[in-house]
Structure 1
Amino acid sequence: MRVRLVLAAAALLTAAVAPLAHAGGADGHHTADRPTGSQLRDGHLHDSNLRDSRFTDSRFTDGHFTDGLFVDAYGTVADDSTVTLSGTYRCLDDSAGPVFVSSTLVQGDRSTGIGGTRAVCDGHLHTWTNSSVAKDPAYVPGAARVEATLMQLSGTGLPLPRFLATEKADVELR
């Protein structure tokens, strides 16, 4: 009987700790394998099977759904200084208020908010794309960092933000 209790306790502890191992680090940000090669064209991921595989860890498959957000490995800077960033998200419930995907681009000592997209929270995988003209000084092709947030506005009166998921990712601007 004592052996069964020890085995049951070990199984429960493993089930409780395993999702934390998938969190990607002490800061709680999930880090997904970044796609390469033919999976990326024009800064967007075109292999839907790979995009779906980002959501196969225990956060999405053990019956206890949590929201998720990912940033594509490439962004673009157009000749008119329009910056476009993109990625994938999944959220379950927007009944408490609207949900948005916001993004901030950091390059060198410069940081700028790049748009915001209204999210559809139906439990399915969706893509997001945010664009904004960022001048004075303009961003340039090369290494940058994106901080993306899946945020819900809720409450009566003045809506308050509730952060559902965040992602910090190194990107290449083209």
Structure 2
Amino acid sequence: MRLRPLLGAAAGAALLLLTGATAATATAATATAAPVAYEAVTVDSVGRIAADGTVTFSGTYRCQSSSGPVFVSSSVSQGVSTTRHGIGGTRAVCDGAEHRWVNTGRPMPGALAPGAAHVEATLMELRTFSGLPLPHFHATHGQAVTLTQD
């Protein structure tokens, strides 16, 4: 009768030792390599304003997989204004590799000027749920940028 509790305790100790060894190996492996973000979007630190008022922002993105169309959108605000201006959208490919995105748009005349601004980029997928396309956000990133006149 006492054999069963001893076997259970021995199995538990063996499992604990195996789990500890695996965790130690995993910790050693992750300590030497920087983690890779599989869902990420970045914004370059400089944007451009063309003579006709067209604004261009760019950056990189990475996503693993998707079941629907994926886009990189961007918006910009400047100064103390709470108004955000949407600047284009780029179709994204989710294959695990890092890709470049470039968005252009023309906000209302005089809405933006060369100088400091804040850009937010979003990596968003449209997933169908009960026949409706609903947003699924893969990544978002805000970045202080400098707008330069072309």
* 4+ residue segments displaced more than 3 Å: none
How do residues 21-170 of structure 1 correspond to structure 2 at under 5 angstroms?
57-60=34-37, 66-94=38-66, 96-108=67-79, 109=81, 110-156=83-129, 157-170=131-144
Measured after TM superposition, the shift of residue 136 of structure 1 is 3.5
Give the aligned CA root-mean-square deviation in angstroms. Answer: 2.6
Which structure features the higher share of strand residues? Answer: 2
Measured after TM superposition, the shift of residue 122 of structure 1 is 1.1
Question: Bigger radius of gyration, 1 or 2?
Answer: 2
The gaps in structure 1 that reach 5 residues or longer are 19-55, 61-65
Measured after TM superposition, the shift of residue 138 of structure 1 is 3.0
Q: Structure 1: which amino acid aligns with 2:141? A: E
Measured after TM superposition, the shift of residue 84 of structure 1 is 0.2
Identical residues among aligned pairs (%): 50
Length-normalised TM-score, structure 2: 0.73
Cα contact 1:81–1:138 (8 A) shared by 2? no
SS in 2 for 1:58: coil
Length-normalised TM-score, structure 1: 0.64
